[in-house]
Structure 1
């Protein structure tokens, strides 16, 4: 991006009752995941977004808490604008920009979220929108009164992004207006011009059963899956700390390496990069670079996550097997799995970790070294 957007927060509004759908739409399954889960994932895959507040009733939160332990919740209000205010109050004061999004728009693309944030940074306020495709008639008592000029009509979407002080003032002055259907109307009343950012017709709001069918069809045609393989081998050396999958394991030896030697994270990072055809960590963090000597492998993994997001991809599943004679790894399975889920920011149930001994064969069998095999499956937006 040419302009730095700094710390940005997202407020995802998902407090509706789903009257037209016949049941709450936020948690309906879409391509094997609840609608709201897909919406949150889009913002997690947007590099500028550092904080997500979801405005939704308590009954919707268990599924989200399980998948995304770091998101913040707010209670819905009686109107959409009151829900937005509740969510806005939970955002960090450090956020320079705030993106407000409908939870029922799960197919928004991170590239469009980023573009809207960039426009808001430059102009103060911006909305995603698409040109109206149909001819629009103004009607009264069942008869056409006039026909609007379609060439100047745009259908507003979300997110709608604002510099924090602008949104705060608009909500404070006009947040009680029941007739307003989005925040940009309030910002317009402040006398601020709202920038239109071209979006995609895929970013449709799921309101009726037909919308859900349409979204399912789009998912089928726009996603590919790839699997990558990774491998690493390190010697064990007395006196070094032992890190496995980002977790520190008590032991008298640790892995020898230019970094902290966490061969599980190294193997998984290479598997992820392999699925993207994006090289390997030795290129990103060369062992000849003395400035990164002793670097935490968690930092390496976070860099790999940035690359994943830049490819509009998402890690769906990881599986790592460490082969070592010592220490015994099984007592640490839960700690390592939890650590891996946190490092790669993914649900715990999509993380597999296991160990094998080397039957006292060779250097590994003598407790002098260990190795790890890993695979990763990624979902990539075409």
Structure 2
């Protein structure tokens, strides 16, 4: 499966009571849209995230997602006059890129949780449509224009639809094309018209949609039921020099009078950082995951190890908030290459360069590094992990 998420954020949100659309207003300290986007970016089973925004909302969008530096977040596309048209625009923007499945989510539902996403993706393994929903528990009344009750509606078998709504990509795109002139309120209704069977999977109250001004306080309380803890891991690595003409440090090739000796490419900086990330989530060290006795890792690029550590953080719903690497050597000189190292690590880890620090120091000619027999690297990594109360 290759899965994309479309986040519909093109509405004006007039009923929310502010001239600023609700998806760009702040809740629990961040824009509503940022909560929704981050949930999908943190998923290893989501390959791309596309926001559909209103024409002229580019500045609001950039501000809302400014701290979400991730290659999976695609440039936004412009929405249409209706929600249906906006989803169709998003599907057309993703067409031809090999996506097999798509999840469509309302930006104004910032409380989406991983369990709901797990249920949806599991349903897609056996059929072409699924939506998150809650069974209707309240007694339903039908009323007339004078707000007088006309009848009681049987609630048996009734569900309140939420998002995400998940589909086989090609089938949903075909349905949008076929029924472009038939107005519906959600993609599941369009799927019904196209004959796509849609499975109901349990949603959560936490995933309620912000519609009116009072909803912000309710959703904020629900969001705060999930708190976050910060963990810090530490890594340390040493490699000796041997004859050669360059070293690789933090993913950057640096000319030198020797190279670093090791089973892989001996990138001490990246090894230390990998250990720091594994340590932060209590997952052992680099040797546990990539034993030096295993010949498949001989000469391997160390970014393979770092990407594994990053994926383990993401799999736990975590976010890498900061990394700090110190390289200890007399030579080569690190300063001229520091920014290239930060950019290389940022690219591998899908984080902003300003979340990565690379420093260097010497041991004042003391010890094995002072004698230029090798070099050492230390790293710390801080990650934010969800802690559900």
The alignment's TM-score, normalised by the length of structure 1, stands at 0.90
* SS of residue matched to 2:214: helix
Which sits farther off after the overlay, 180-189 or 43-52? 43-52
Contact 2:24 2:61 in 1 (8 A): no
The alignment's TM-score, normalised by the length of structure 2, stands at 0.89
Q: For 1:204, which of 208, 212, 216 is the aligned residue?
A: 208
Please tell me whether residue 60 in structure 1 is matched to residue 65 in structure 2.
no
Q: Who is 1:86 aligned against?
A: 89
| Deviation of 1:338 (Å) | 1.8
Which sits farther off after the overlay, 158-167 or 344-353? 344-353
Q: Who is 2:191 aligned against?
A: 187
CA distance in 2, matches of 1:29, 1:244: 40
Q: For 1:154, which of 132, 150, 159 is the aligned residue?
A: 159
Q: Who is 1:221 aligned against?
A: 225
| Deviation of 1:343 (Å) | 1.6
Q: For 2:277, which of 272, 277, 282 is the aligned residue?
A: 272
Q: Who is 1:8 aligned against?
A: 3
Matches within 5 A, 1:1-382: 6-21=1-16, 22=18, 23-56=20-53, 57-63=57-63, 64=65, 67-68=68-69, 70=71, 71-72=73-74, 73-93=76-96, 94-141=98-145, 142-178=147-183, 180-225=184-229, 226-239=231-244, 241-382=246-387
| Deviation of 1:308 (Å) | 1.6
Contact 2:342 2:357 in 1 (8 A): yes
Structure 1 residues without counterparts, runs of 5 or longer: 1-5
CA distance in 1, matches of 2:69, 2:211: 25
Q: Who is 1:3 aligned against?
A: none
Q: CA RMSD in A?
A: 2.2
Q: What stretches of structure 1 move > 6 A for 4+ residues in a row?
A: none
CA distance in 1, matches of 2:219, 2:244: 55
| Deviation of 1:75 (Å) | 1.0
Residue 319 to residue 175, structure 1, CA distance change in 2 (3 Å): farther
Which sits farther off after the overlay, 83-92 or 351-360? 351-360
Residue 147 to residue 322, structure 1, CA distance change in 2 (3 Å): farther
Deviations 1:73-119 (A, max 9, x none): 21111111111111111215311111111122223223422431231
CA distance in 1, matches of 2:210, 2:252: 41
Residue 224 to residue 24, structure 1, CA distance change in 2 (3 Å): same
CA distance in 1, matches of 2:286, 2:369: 23
Kindly tell me the number of residue pairs found equivalent between the two proteins. Answer: 376
